[in-house]
Structure 1
Amino acid sequence: MGTEWTLDRTFDSPNGTVRWARSGQGDPLVLVHGWPFSSYIWRDLARALSTRHTVYVWDLPGYGASERYEGQDVSLAGHQQVFASLLDHWGLERPAVAAHDIGGAVALRTALLSGRRFERLALVDAVAAGPWGSPFFQLANRQAPAFAQVPAHLHEALVRAYIADGADRQLREETLKALARPWTGAHGQAAFYRQMAQAHQRHTAEYEDRLGELDLPVAVVWGERDRWLPLQRGRELAERLPRARLHVLEGSGHLVQEDAPAQLAAVLGDFLAR
C-alpha cells in the first residue's frame, strides 16, 4: 500500500463508488473504520497484519476517497447494505472482521440482520448499543442544516478540533490533516453533516436484543480514556456478548489506532491467531 495511503480499487455499490484495497496473504481480514475517519486510520495495522492475513480496507460511502453526493444514503442501514455487497464482491464467506466506532454497528448489523457469517469479530471502541454519540455529535445531528452553512474556515477548524478530541495524545499534523481533508471544501462540508443528519439510534436498536445470538469469538477492545464512548460502554458490551473478552488499552482515547498502535496490533494479532 506504500507510504502514501491509497485505495487502488473500486466497487460500484448501491450507494456510490467505494474505494478499497487488498494486501498480504493468508486468512481474510476486513477492517472497517468509523466516524469521522476513513480507512487511513488502519494504515499501520493493515501493514502489520498483512504479514499473516489478506487484509481488506475500504472507505465507507461518503467517507475518505469514496464517492459522495447529495441525497446519498449514508445511514448505518445503508452502510450495512454496502458491506454485505462488498463481501459478495470479494467472495468472502467467513472473514475475520475488525471494526472501529460506527464500523462496529455496521459489522453487527451485517452479521445479525444480513445473516453474514464472520470467523471472529474485534469491536474496537465500537458503537454497538444506544445511547451513543458525543455531545457535539448529538447537537449536530439535530441541527445539521444549520451547521452545513457555517463559513468554510470555521467548519475546518471545528472538524480538526473534533477529530483531535478523539485521541488522548496530540495527533501529528500530517495525521490530523489527512483525517480532516475529506471533510473540507464545499463537497466535504456537505458530506460531513450529511453523515450526522442520518445517524439514528434506531439503527442500533434494531439488533440490540439479538446481541446474545452472536455465537463467535469477539474481542472488545477499548481505550481506557475514551471520552466519546467511555470504558463502561465497553464493559457493558462485553457482558452482552456470549463469547466476548474485554481488552483495555491503557493511555488511549477513542482513536486507539493513533494512541496505542503497538498495543492494538498485539491484541488483534493474538486474537486472530487463536
Structure 2
Amino acid sequence: MRDAVVTAEGDRIRWAELPGREPTRVYVHGLGATSPAYFAATASHPALAGHRSLLVDLMGHGISDRPTGFDYTLESHADALAAALREAGVTGAEVIAHSMGGSVALVLAARHPHLVSRLVLADANLDPVTPAVGAPGSAGIAAYTEQEFLQGGWEQVRDRAGAHWWATMRLAGREALYRSAVHLARGTSPVMRELLLRLTIPRAFLFPEADGPLAGAGELRSAGVLVVPVPDCGHNIMLDNPEAFVRATAAALSG
C-alpha cells in the first residue's frame, strides 16, 4: 500500500501498487466502490500484468481518507487524484476507470493532460441524470438532501443497494458518498461526453452488450473512440465477465 497527501489539510489518498514496467497503469473505481476489490483480479491477469499498476481509492472511498470538509466534485476528485499521481512519480499513465471513476478520469485527462496517455472507460457516466427517489446509483442518492441522507436516507440506499455493492459502499464516508453522487448526477461543464469527444489521446469505451446500442456511439466513433460491447455482463463488467473485460482492455491498450 502507498499513500500521498493531496489536500492542504493533510488528507491522504491511498492505493495498492503492483510493480512492473512503464507506462504505469492507473485503475479507478466507481461510486461507493474500491479499486483493489474491483480490479485486483483483472490487473494481475496475465494479459494485463507486468506494468506498474496503481489501484487507487478516490477521496472518501475505500482505504483513502474521508474528510467531511471536501466537496467531492468530479473536478476535486480529479485534482486530488492528480496530486497523488504526481507524488507517485506518474506521467503518461494508461488509465482504466469504471463508472464514476471514468467520469473522474475524463476530468483528469482534460485538466492534467500530462498525466494521461490512454483511457479505457468501463461503462462510465457520460451524461447528467435526473435525481429520482428509489432510482439506482447516483440518481437515487442525489434525490435526498444531504441532511436527509445523513439522518437515515443512507439506510434506505443500503437496503436497495444489496449486499454486493454495500460490501464496498459501507467503507465510503457518508458525506463523500452523498456529495460524489450529487456531483456525478449533475455532471461537469462541459459535460463528460463532450470531454471524451474533445480528447485526442487513444480512448476506448466498454459497455454491457445487453444494454443495447450505446447512445451516441456513432459520434464517439467518429471522434476516434473505440466503442466495445462486452457480452455476458452488467454494469460491473470487470467482476461479471473478467475474461471479456481483460480481452477488451488489453486490445484497447495495445491498439
Please report the TM-score for the alignment, with normalisation by the length of structure 1: 0.78
Q: Which residue of 2 aligns with 1:9?
A: 2
Judged with a 3 Å threshold, the aligned counterparts in structure 2 of structure 1 residues 223 and 202 are, in CA distance, closer, same or farther, namely closer
Match of 2:235 among 246, 250, 254: 254
CA distance in 1 between partners of 2:15 and 2:108 (Å): 18
Aligned-pair CA distance for 1:94:
0.8
Superposition map of 1:66-215 within 5 A:
66-131=64-129, 135-136=135-136, 137-144=138-145, 145-150=147-152, 155=155, 158-159=157-158, 161-162=160-161, 164=162, 176=165, 178-183=167-172, 188-199=173-184, 201-205=186-190, 208-215=193-200
Judged with a 3 Å threshold, the aligned counterparts in structure 2 of structure 1 residues 140 and 51 are, in CA distance, closer, same or farther, namely closer
Aligned-pair CA distance for 1:193:
2.4
Match of 1:34 among 16, 19, 30: 30
Deviations 1:20-56 (A, max 9, x none): 1210312211111111211121121122266321111
Aligned-pair CA distance for 1:210:
4.7
Judged with a 3 Å threshold, the aligned counterparts in structure 2 of structure 1 residues 178 and 10 are, in CA distance, closer, same or farther, namely same
Q: Which residue of 2 aligns with 1:265?
A: 246
Structure 2: gaps of 5 or more residues: none
CA distance in 2 between partners of 1:250 and 1:132 (Å): 28
Deviations 1:163-183 (A, max 9, x none): x5xxxxxxxx6x556324314
Q: Which residue of 1 aligns with 2:221?
A: 239
Judged with a 3 Å threshold, the aligned counterparts in structure 2 of structure 1 residues 99 and 151 are, in CA distance, closer, same or farther, namely closer
Judged with a 3 Å threshold, the aligned counterparts in structure 2 of structure 1 residues 142 and 43 are, in CA distance, closer, same or farther, namely same
* Percent of matched pairs sharing the same residue: 24
Aligned-pair CA distance for 1:112:
1.6
SS at structure 2 position matched to 1:182 = coil
Match of 1:220 among 192, 205, 209: 205
SS at structure 2 position matched to 1:116 = helix
Q: Which residue of 2 aligns with 1:168?
A: none
SS at structure 2 position matched to 1:120 = strand
Once superposed, what is the RMSD of the aligned Cα atoms? 2.8
CA distance in 2 between partners of 1:132 and 1:255 (Å): 22
CA distance in 1 between partners of 2:151 and 2:168 (Å): 21
Q: Which amino acid aligns with 2:158?
A: V
Match of 2:14 among 11, 19, 24: 19
CA distance in 2 between partners of 1:56 and 1:18 (Å): 12
SS at structure 2 position matched to 1:192 = helix
Deviations 1:205-235 (A, max 9, x none): 3565454331122111111235xxx752472
Of 216-225 and 258-267, deviating more is 216-225
Q: Which amino acid aligns with 1:161?
A: R
Structure 1: gaps of 5 or more residues: 1-7, 165-172
Consecutive aligned runs of 4 or more in structure 1 exceeding 6 Å deviation: none
